[in-house]
Structure 1
Amino acid sequence: MRPIHLFHFLLTALVCSGCGSGREESMDGEAIPVRTVPVRMQPIVRPIRTSGTLHASAEIRLSFKIGGIVERIVVREGERVRSGQILARLKPDEIGAQARQARIAFDKAQRDHERALRLFSDSVVTREQLQNAESGLDLAKSQLDIAEFNLRHAQIAAPSDGRVLKRLAEEGELVGAGHPVLLFGSHAESWRVRAGVADRDVVRIFPGDSAAVRFDAHPGTVFPARILEIPGAADPAGGLFETGLSLAPSEKTLYSGFAAAVEIFPAQSETMRIIPFEALVSVRGMEGQVFRVNPEGLAVPVPVQIAFFTDDAAVIARGLEGVASVVTEGAAYLSPRTKVRVVEDE
């Protein structure tokens, strides 16, 4: 069964409700002929409809290890880049000066250590003075390594092939160590959709369940997906479980941030009650009403909660417990306790 838009059913219900303007409401008159159909019990995979946002599977906030003034950002938003390509760099003035200062201090420590060795061999200095010189050399070497490391990391390189999703800083801006400068999306992995699922539905889904994703940018195209991960707690802001779905590879052009319409198909089915469209005599939202016939031959209204619609039927969530059959033909002419006569199929 394929779900359809509620609009088509509401149009049918509106027409049927107009047919009821000439209802016969007297119990004392002639019984109205009606037909009934059994309420079908059938295993149903009830889809979960929600919305989400597309993003790259590996989104990385790239930053400088040290603070400084951004000298150049050489890429634009949306630009594709290669692994190792330089994306941005800091002004090297201060960092270079620190590296030169560390080099000078290291050279001096080396000379001091060499002199201390000579003097120690001539018994001019003590072993403690020699050890102090050795410690000074080790400290200077460590400071030089740090300065040269910082100098090498005064630029940002692409960690893999991918796309620059967003620039988070601009040239000439002072940024601190670890402050994000670029949002990078890797092409090494597939696209992901993060969709909010309500608590009543999250208990019905499991990793590996299939889904269909649609984007306004590609009308009419369905992107197959599967549930990748289900969070252990709801998002405090919205109260929904931000479920991750993995999209199947596609040749379509996609961008991080696309709004997605998501339809999830749980692997586990539910046994639900199904009735034809024409059995519903009124619908308001996802609530409706049907008629059953009691043992005295009178029409009894039954309010129902509709789960969803298929091509030719309504799947009922609640209301038909204990009801074996409902009125179809003639339902539009009935009122509560109208006398009816059930016509059997020939």
Structure 2
Amino acid sequence: MKKIITYSIGFFLLFSILVSCGKKAAEKKSLADEDVIAVKLAEVVQGNSNEVIKASGLIASLQEARLSFKTGGIIAKIYVKEGQNVSKGQLLASLNLTEINAQVQQASESVQKAERDLRRVTNLYKDSVATLEQVQNLTTALSVAKQTFEIANYNQGFSKIYATSTGVIVKKLMNEGELAGPGTPVFFMNATSANDWVLKVGVADKDWTRLHLGDKATIQLDAFADTPFTATVSNLSQGADQSSGLYQAELKLNTQGKKIATGLFGNAIITPNAIHQNTFVPIDAVIEGNGNDAFVYTVENGKAHKVAIKILSINSDKVFIQPPSIPITQVITGGSAYLVEGSKVKIIQ
């Protein structure tokens, strides 16, 4: 009997202790929920922004040329090698002219025949033997024959390839004895003047809208790690590249007397001349960034309120943002890492 009474008393004491601990835990949790977090505020500012644009690309010549024959034929002679410097107007290659010369001769004889036919029919027309229609038809035939002769002569003149500018043969794509089709590239050449080099870079659409011709840039080429180059924006494409989705910009390079070649890799920092009025907040206020999406906290009625923002760009300790749908004038900086939606806050200086 005593054992039963002892067990009952022990169970009652244990139950009382657990209930008491539960009340204390609930009271502690309740107190924690009511904790006030000290925070600092910063103003949302409207300011000027000319954020630089960073891009990379490859060096190219302004006068790149893929040289080819106007007509097809067997390549009879190639007069230059890869890497060779050439002068404007220099003969680079020629076709075997046997077939082309025959076409010119054939066209010439067609003209002579048409002229004879027209003279004969004209005389007959004067004697009222031939009709006016016959004279007109032969006149047309003579005109067509002359045009055919002009085409043959033109093609004969373009059966040789000449350098379009002073430059270098970057690539020789065909050899003597090969059959070259009309318009098939035989040489890839670049102009090599100091004013002919550009860095071609791709920029996003939001950066493309900020760029204008003449904007200044600084370029660092991997081949000349210790030499920064100056450049200006010389051309902006009017359509995006289908494969990358980027817009191409050409930066005309000041070579500073350095030996430049096609394909050199470079990084560019472009400074747009246009200055935009943008909203910015301190970088300490921005939390939970994911790409261009992020959040800031504001204070409403003594509590933290979470606001979604769109990031436009980041400059040192400033974050330029798209104005949120709900206007805000202040954001929380110090203490924002400890906040959740609805946290009680105390503003400190």
**Counterpart residue number, 1:181:** 186
Alpha-carbon distance, 1:185 to partner? 1.3
CA spacing shift, 1:25–1:254, aligned 2, 3 Å: farther
CA spacing shift, 1:26–1:77, aligned 2, 3 Å: farther
**Counterpart residue number, 1:164:** 169
**Counterpart residue number, 1:270:** 276
**Aligned partners of 1:25 and 1:334 also within 8 Å:** no
Distance, in Å, in 2 between the alignment partners of 1:47 and 1:249 is: 22
**Counterpart residue number, 2:63:** 58
Q: SS in structure 2 opposite 1:256? A: coil
CA spacing shift, 1:39–1:77, aligned 2, 3 Å: farther
**Aligned partners of 1:209 and 1:266 also within 8 Å:** yes
**Counterpart residue number, 1:118:** none
Alpha-carbon distance, 1:173 to partner? 0.9
- Asked if 1:300 corresponds to 2:341, the answer is no
Count of paired positions: 287
Distance, in Å, in 2 between the alignment partners of 1:291 and 1:97 is: 85
| Residue from 330, 337, 341 that aligns with 1:336 | 341
Q: Superposition RMSD on alpha carbons, in Å?
A: 3.9
**Aligned partners of 1:302 and 1:320 also within 8 Å:** no
| Residue from 314, 322, 326 that aligns with 1:317 | 322
**Aligned partners of 1:306 and 1:318 also within 8 Å:** no
**Aligned partners of 1:63 and 1:178 also within 8 Å:** yes
**Identity percentage of aligned residues:** 31
- Asked if 1:71 corresponds to 2:71, the answer is no
Any gaps of 5 or more consecutive residues in structure 2? 1-29, 113-141
For each residue in 1:82-102, what CA deviation from the matched residue of structure 2 results, as whole angstroms up to 9, or x when unmatched?
A: 334332233466567888x79
Any gaps of 5 or more consecutive residues in structure 1? 1-23, 110-135
CA spacing shift, 1:231–1:151, aligned 2, 3 Å: closer
Alpha-carbon distance, 1:323 to partner? 1.9
**Aligned partners of 1:77 and 1:166 also within 8 Å:** yes
- Asked if 1:245 corresponds to 2:284, the answer is no
Alpha-carbon distance, 1:250 to partner? 3.5
Q: SS in structure 2 opposite 1:255? A: coil
Give the AA of the match of 1:43. Answer: N
**Counterpart residue number, 1:286:** 292
Asked which structure has the greater RCO (Cα within 8 Å, sep 6+), the reply is 1
- Within a 5 Å distance, the mapping from 1:38-117 to structure 2 comes to 38-91=43-96
Higher mean C-alpha deviation, range 77-86 or range 159-168? 77-86
TM-score, with length taken from structure 1: 0.66
Asked which structure has the greater CA Rg, the reply is 2
| Residue from 229, 239, 262 that aligns with 2:235 | 229
TM-score, with length taken from structure 2: 0.66
For each residue in 1:147-186, what CA deviation from the matched residue of structure 2 results, as whole angstroms up to 9, or x when unmatched?
A: 6x87775543323321112223223211134432112212
**Aligned partners of 2:170 and 2:188 also within 8 Å:** yes
Alpha-carbon distance, 1:42 to partner? 1.0
For each residue in 1:61-114, what CA deviation from the matched residue of structure 2 results, as whole angstroms up to 9, or x when unmatched?
A: 222344322234343333322334332233466567888x79x98xxx9xxxxx
**Aligned partners of 2:100 and 2:152 also within 8 Å:** no
Give the AA of the match of 1:275. Answer: V
Alpha-carbon distance, 1:315 to partner? 2.5
Q: Which has the higher helix share?
A: 2
